[in-house]
Structure 1
Amino acid sequence: MVAQDEAQHRAGPLIVWINGAFGAGKTTAAYELHRRLPGSLVFDPEEAGFYIRARLPKHLHGDDFQDYPMWRSINREMLAYLAENHPGPIIVPMTVVSERYMDELVGALRSSGVRVDHYALTASRQTLLRRLRSRWESERSWAAQQIDRCLAGLAGETFDVHIQTDGMNASEVVARIAELSGLALTPDRRGPLKRGWDRLRTKAGHIRFGR
């Protein structure tokens, strides 16, 4: 996979890929970043998975829609198209822990000249479980059962820059991503109640009950 520090020096469109185990805060960080980056958009690769699964007969359903080759190709092509045609940053909150799948997605985009800044949000298992509980998911939920697999997969150097989020709030995570990517954030003028409500709505709107 093309190294991030090399890709960061390329001019042109920018994709900010926010990776991490379920409960790491990817979606919250993505939408907080979007709110403070005028002209940015959030692209959710999971939507292609729901589309594919809804149109396949049940005997072709797998455990994880990332295993469908067309899921990877659709998202790669969509992101390449957006990078070519959308003038602002494209923010992608998506858990991918397979090195091969990351190479097919991020590696291929970088090889084609697209700048992709990839960040893996990490946290302890206890922190991840606490965050999952805050979005009404138990330790028996699908997301909780993926924690160990995700932590092991994301530990590799393939996943570029790691941001340890234990003890960090969403604003601090966003500020760190912006600093690393050289992005100028607009001031956050929301009060604590509005900020909390926005984050609660984001959590509630992106709860996944299995894949």
Structure 2
Amino acid sequence: MIVWVNGTHGVGKTTTSALLQPLLANARVFDAERVGEMLMDITPGLPATDNFQHWPPWRALVVETARSVLEYAGGTLVVPMTVLVEGYWREISDGLRAHGIPVRHVVLHADEATLRDRITGEHEVPSSFRLAHLRPYAQAARTWLHESATVVDTTGAPPADVAARVAALCRRWSDQ
């Protein structure tokens, strides 16, 4: 099974995933961003973009990497990765399902004020990249993202509590 932990940048996907991994039997965290970093290292480079998710090879390689890891090691892959473009999400989730891999889509959510506080409070210089994704996240949440996932509100919740809630969801899904 894949537990895809989605949500905007700064909502706590990486922290939640690290805390979730030991709560699930035979689970591993797969950071799909590393696939994008690998593609960025290709020289001469791929066509210029502001987001490696726009490269079709990123989406295909995420599917194939996840499939290969699960085929080799089994268990559960926890994937903390923001995907805000519906077509990209469909391509990835449909690709995984075509390989017979159940995908459980969780979106971590927090209100905008909480997100801004988290983003501006975590570094001396607030991340303009993370702040720039608040609007696209809100748009995706309104139009498709929240409908395609189980939403877990992280506003005011300690990371360990968020991970425990996601783990409880995973146990329920495993029992189905």
For the criterion TM > 0.5, the same-fold answer is yes
Unaligned stretches of 5+ residues in structure 2: none
In 2, Cα distance between the equivalents of 1:59 and 1:147?
27
Paired residues of 1:53 and 1:61 also in contact (CA < 8 A): no
In 1, Cα distance between the equivalents of 2:22 and 2:124?
26
The CA deviation string for residues 100-145 of structure 1, in whole angstroms up to 9 with x for no partner, is 1011111221233111111011111111111112321645611111
| Superposition pairs of residues 3-152 of structure 1, within 5 angstroms | 14-57=1-44, 60-136=47-123, 138-139=125-126, 141-152=128-139
Q: Residue in 2 aligned with 1:207?
A: none
Alignment coverage as a number of residue pairs: 170
2:105 partner SS: strand
Q: What is the CA-CA distance between 1:99 and the residue it aligns to?
A: 0.9
TM-score of the aligned structures, taking structure 1 as reference length: 0.74
The CA deviation string for residues 49-104 of structure 1, in whole angstroms up to 9 with x for no partner, is 11111214358221110000000001110111122222221110000011110111
Paired residues of 2:110 and 2:154 also in contact (CA < 8 A): yes
Give % identity. Answer: 32
Paired residues of 2:120 and 2:127 also in contact (CA < 8 A): no
Structure 1 residues 126 and 51: alpha-carbon distance in aligned structure 2, compared to 1, 3 A threshold: same
Unaligned stretches of 5+ residues in structure 1: 1-13, 184-211
In 2, Cα distance between the equivalents of 1:138 and 1:125?
19
The CA deviation string for residues 169-195 of structure 1, in whole angstroms up to 9 with x for no partner, is 111111111111117xxxxxxxxxxxx
Q: Residue in 1 aligned with 2:165?
A: 176
In 2, Cα distance between the equivalents of 1:118 and 1:61?
30
State the structure with more CA Rg: 1
TM-score of the aligned structures, taking structure 2 as reference length: 0.88
> What RMSD, in angstroms, separates the aligned Cα atoms of the two structures?
1.9
Paired residues of 1:122 and 1:163 also in contact (CA < 8 A): yes
Q: What is the CA-CA distance between 1:36 and the residue it aligns to?
A: 2.9
More displaced stretch, 30-39 vs 120-129: 30-39
In 2, Cα distance between the equivalents of 1:169 and 1:152?
26
Paired residues of 1:120 and 1:154 also in contact (CA < 8 A): no
Structure 1 consecutive aligned stretches of length 4 or more whose deviation exceeds 4 Å:
137-140
Q: Residue in 2 aligned with 1:10?
A: none
Q: Comparing both structures, which one devotes a greater share of its residues to helix?
A: 2
The CA deviation string for residues 154-208 of structure 1, in whole angstroms up to 9 with x for no partner, is 332553111111111111111111111117xxxxxxxxxxxxxxxxxxxxxxxxx
